[in-house]
Amino acid sequence: MASTMANDPATEVHGDSKPSVSCSNYVINTRIVTITLLILGVGISCWVFYNKAYAFQFLPRSYSSSPSPPNSSLGNIDLNLQKVLEKAATRDKTVIITTVNQAWAASHSIFDVFLESFRIGNGTFKLLNHMVVVSMDHKAYERCLTVHPHCYALRTKGINFSSETYFMTPNYLDMMWRRTNFLASILEMGYNFVFTDTDIMWLQDPFRYFFQDADFQIACDQFNGNSYDKNNSPNGGFMYVKSNNRTIQFYKFWCSSRKNYPGKNEQDVFNKIKKGPFIKKIGLEMRFLSTAYFGGFCEHGKDFNLMSTMHANCCFGLANKLHDLKILLADWRRFLSLPPSIKALSSSSSWRVPQKCK
């Protein structure tokens, strides 16, 4: 009877009090154990959740918040380069890339004239925010940091790219192929790029003249009037390339083709492979840019209103390039100062270059 009453909390016990005390202790102990287990369970859950969240918080951004670039290994990504590209890129992940070494980046040299063209060009000043200057040596990198917000030091172990490199010398070939390999890595990281030599003056925004349906488009030394014709004479100093599987495969093929043509620069090898079956196999859409818009000392249009860029190509020697590019910018400033009615005439101005670059 006592046992039955003890199990009923509504029943009073008027006899011996011992059974009541024992049952009360049992209930209290049971509650204590239950509460303790509950607290321990909550504590363990919080500890596990905190550690997972803490570990996730400190994962590299490329792992935690963005997908892997196509056909690339995240472990091979240069995080310093990624940071520079993220800051400079447009909304559609496009960057403008140029390369400089100590000789070209020195004060009052080609680099200064190059930057000046962006400042005085028509609609080009804003594009400086999206340009990454790739330095081939430490001195060039130090100079870049003093004049431009987006600088990246490209190190090549065992090779000194600081001095003026002459066309087709071993050092020149190494530098050109190093540059091509670097551009391939930009594509693998998921960025479109416009590559521009530093001896190209940006006079007007070139994006309005690019072909929207092309994967790869390149300027020409001479243009035959047909943007699809692979018989055009391309110039690797100016290219607009979109990042996709086709261009990534193409750049890998381009770089690997160097061994098949020893002693050739990247432009010569491009001319060897541009008509090959591999381009058709991967479906790469290639176009060639008209010299009426993207001109140079080799060939250029007459109408200043159409001219987007001017390249000091077909020219040897840094001093000769610098001399003629300064005259070119003076001609452009003169054109910009003309009244709109005069400026609209295609014959309103003419270039005084090349001079020393003849």
Instruction: Report d(CA 41, CA 44) in Å as an integer.
Output: 5
* Two structure tokens written together for 164: 């003026």
Same domain, 104 and 16: no
Per the structure, the count of domains in the chain is 2
Which three-class secondary structure state does DSSP give residue 151?
strand
pLDDT of residue 63: 23
| Same-domain pairing of 266 and 200 | yes
Instruction: For residue 16, tell me if it sits in a domain.
Output: yes
Q: Would you say residue 242 lies in a domain?
A: yes
Note whether 187 and 72 are within 8 A (CB).
no
**In the predicted structure, residue 89 carries a pLDDT above the cut 50:** yes
What pLDDT score does 77 carry?
Answer: 58
Residue-wise pLDDT for 127-145, tens only, equals: 999 999 999 999 999 999 9
**Mean pLDDT throughout 21-37?**
50
Query: pLDDT tens for residues 294-343?
Result: 999 999 999 999 999 999 999 999 999 999 999 999 999 999 999 999 99
Residue 133 lies in a domain: yes
- Give yes or no: residues 37 and 152 share one domain: no
Is residue 326 within 8 A of residue 266, CB to CB? The reply is no
Tokens 């006079």, residue located: 203
Q: Do 30 and 83 belong to one domain?
A: no
DSSP state of 309: E
**What's 314's domain CATH number?**
3.90.550.10
Residue-level pLDDT at 170 = 64
Tell me the C-alpha distance between 133 and 181, whole Å.
Answer: 16
Average pLDDT, stretch 21-42?
52
Instruction: Report the pLDDT value the prediction gives residue 76, as an integer from 0 to 100.
Output: 52
In this predicted model, which residue has the larger pLDDT, 107 or 163?
Answer: 107
